[in-house]
Amino acid sequence: MDVLGVLIGLAALIAVPFVLMLVGLKVLFPLIFLPFKIFAGLLKAVFGLAAGLLGGLFGLVAGGVGLVVGLGVLLLVLVVLPLAPLLLLGAVVWLALKALSPATRPV
């Protein structure tokens, strides 16, 4: 049993420096890269805000265009479509009058 205790103690003496080194590296690397993470966060915030504002502006413009197109379709369906027979009759009369009138020739 005495040999087993010595082997465990020797293993601990060998393993402890490696564990401390790994813990040190896990603390050191984030501290080294912390300024870069802060800078990246600031850039992400600035460009994210700019992109969000541009996206919102684009959404407003697209909504306005959609509203105008929708109102145009509504006007077409509710006003022009019921008047289509009268417009067609007016076009036929206009063409007939134009065909029957004498052509003017340039001098």
> Count of CB atoms within 10 A of residue 88's CB?
10
Cα 58 to chain centroid distance, Å, stands at 9
Q: Is 0.75 surpassed by the pTM of this model? A: no
Token representation of residue 98: 């134009």
Mean pLDDT computed over 32-56: 92
Is the pLDDT score of 1 beyond 90? no
Confidence band, pLDDT 50/70/90 cuts, at residue 21: very high
pLDDT at 105: 77
Is the pLDDT score of 42 beyond 90? yes
pLDDT at 103: 74
Mean pLDDT computed over 77-100: 91
Mean pLDDT computed over 62-89: 93
Is the pLDDT score of 2 beyond 90? no
CB burial of 33-60 (b: ≥16 within 10 Å; e: otherwise) equals eeeeeeeeeeeeeeeeeeeeeeeeeeee
